[in-house]
Amino acid sequence: MSFNQVRYFLEVARAASIREASERLNIAPSALSRQIQNLEEDLGMPLFERRPRGMVLTPAGEVYSRYAQAIALETDRVRTELEELRGLRRGRVRVYTVEGIVSDVLTRLIAEFNEKLPGISFKLVTTGTDDVVAAVREGHADLGISFNAQPDAAVRFVRRIRDPLIALVHPDHPLAGRGSVRFAEILTYRLGVPEPGFGIRRLIDDECRRLGASLQPALETNSIEALRGFARSGAGVTLMSSQSSTRELAQGLVRNVGLDEPALLRSTLDVGVLAGRRLPSAVTEFLAALDRIFAVRG
Whole-model pTM: value is 0.69
Fill in the amino acid letter for 83. Answer: E
Beta pairing class for 255-259 and 180-181:
parallel
In the chain, CATH 1.10.10.10 covers: 3-70
Domain 165-265 adopts which CATH fold?
A: D-Maltodextrin-Binding Protein; domain 2 (3.40.190)
Q: What are the mean pLDDT values of the chain's consecutive 10-residue runs (298 residues total)?
A: 82 91 89 91 91 89 89 79 62 89 83 84 92 92 92 92 92 93 95 92 94 94 92 94 83 93 89 87 86 67
pLDDT of residue 278: 80
Q: Which of 28, 36, 35, 30 is nearest to 55 (CA)?
A: 36
What pLDDT, on a 0 to 100 scale, did the predictor assign at position 88? 47
- Ranges in the chain annotated CATH 3.40.190.10: 89-161+268-297, 165-265
3-70: CATH topology is: Arc Repressor Mutant, subunit A (1.10.10)
- Let me know if 216 is exposed, middle or buried by CB neighbors in 10 A (0-12, 13-18, 19+): exposed
CATH 3.40.190.10 fits 89-161+268-297, yes or no: yes
Residues 56-66 as b or e (16 or more Cβ within 10 Å = b): ebeeebeebbe
Nearest to 254 by CA among 234, 270, 224: 234
Check if the beta carbon of residue 120 is closer than 8 Å to that of residue 244: no
Burial, 210: exposed, middle or buried (Cβ in 10 Å; 0-12, 13-18, 19+)? Answer: exposed
